[in-house]
Chain A
């Protein structure tokens, strides 16, 4: 059971109050982009065993979207921040580094904003 804190209204609640929305910080690719970029945006996911950035909606609360940085192995939540952030804010990165000193941003779209190597 996850306990998340909504960064908009400040309410901390169990996961049943929120709705998960999949990997965060995906770079949107639409008409005119290459097939590779569109496939990566539409289907390919990082799926890390460890630190993950994920969209959530405070469905049974203020209704707003936010992003949670959490660990998929321990379910520890490092930080939550508004969905308007295009990349993890420095406080969130610091909170992750404090608990996972070895953490490197994933190779794909997430967090780094770069295409996979």
Chain B
């Protein structure tokens, strides 16, 4: 199935793009997706995604479609064809 991954804030800079479509197996969980993304990423993006679901998954806000999914729920959140997963680094300042 196809999943849209959106990179926000510093992740967008590191990925060099705002979003991409990834082909993944059916019934993939959100945690599995984070682990795959961390495994495939290189350079600055790889550093930010370090640790996959156990690392990056606790450092970034995880948004599936229009709602956040808490880090504790990523392992049981099963993705659906066409879902849009946004990874949002916490930002702070002004």
Question: Does B associate with A?
Answer: no
